[in-house]
Amino acid sequence: MNALNFNKTVLISFPLVIIAIIIYTFITQPKKPTQIDISLLKGNIDNGKNVFLASGCNSCHTSDGSNNKYLLSGGQKFITNFGTFVAPNISTSREHGIGSWSFSDFYNSIKFGQSPSGKHYFPAYPYNSYQHMHDEDIYDLWTFWKTLPSDETPSQIHDLFFPFNFRRNIGIWKTFFMKDNYFDQKLDRSTYLVEALGHCAECHTPRNYIGSLKKSEWMRGGINPSGKGKIPSIHPSDLKWTKDEIVEYLSSGFTPDYDMVGGKMASVVENISQLSDLDRELIADYLLRLE
């Protein structure tokens, strides 16, 4: 390559590189934090507890083997194709948890998957489901959250592979896959319980190579985030349970064959068993109407 050709290449490439950097910066830019007007929100602790249970925060954020289901000290590991995620301490500790957060910080975390300092959270935190959470429920959850105990265990760092360890790149993922729409179009409380709070699809739906849910295989089973085996399909054509059997499972943990729920799902059932009978029935309705 002579000097003239080299100069030409540089001249042509330079603007393209600049354009690429601008596009990358634009796409990966975290959203401007939203300030929430809470003057009209009352903060109902009882509903906050229900939201907490339905959302299953403690299923991931308690430490392994912890008997206190409200001590959100973190530490559970999730082995994935992108590396190992470690659930952080989200207790009310000001130093190691989220005790120093404002409600707006909490809101932005749930709605947009963003930290108070404006960094993207990895979508192992199911904000793609939680983004549908109603503002009142988020405030009730926040009100309940503040009553929970503090834990001084420092959060551990995720052990992820390049380029997935670069938080800025999550902005690309969000641009293409974080859509503010439901799969189920009935948009009733069943949809809300399963898709927003329960975030059932996050485990029960398989993912593509960049970790987005395969909507064509909705609820048909996925990889176990704890690293071994498979999460079963809960699509009615595979599960073949009646409404009563689903409700029984969500109440007692017993399958129709009286096998007992285990692993992470045991915690989910433990939480859902504390919701109302009606909510359990609505969850069953949702699963049975999947096509």
Partner 1 sequence: MISLTLKISLIVIFFSSTLLLAHTGVKNEDVMKRMNLMKSMAENTKIIGDMLKKKIPFDLEQAKNSLIEISNLSKSTPSVFEKMAMDPKSESKIIIWEEFDNFRNLSNKLADNTLSAAENLSGFEDLKPALMRTASGCKECHTIYRE
Interacting residue ranges for partner 1, rule: CB under 8 A: 65, 224, 226, 228-229, 252-254, 257-263, 266-267, 269-270
In the complex, least distance from residue 60 CB atom to partner 1, rounded to whole angstroms: 14
15 vs 229 by CB, closer to partner 1: 229
221 vs 253 by CB, closer to partner 1: 253
195 vs 202 by CB, closer to partner 1: 202
In the complex, least distance from residue 226 CB atom to partner 1, rounded to whole angstroms: 7
In the complex, least distance from residue 251 CB atom to partner 1, rounded to whole angstroms: 10
257 vs 291 by CB, closer to partner 1: 257
In the complex, least distance from residue 175 CB atom to partner 1, rounded to whole angstroms: 35
162 vs 258 by CB, closer to partner 1: 258
Residue 15: φ, ψ to 5°: -65, -35
CB distance 140 to 92 below 8 Å: no
Cis peptide before 163 (omega within 30 of 0): yes
In the complex, least distance from residue 120 CB atom to partner 1, rounded to whole angstroms: 30
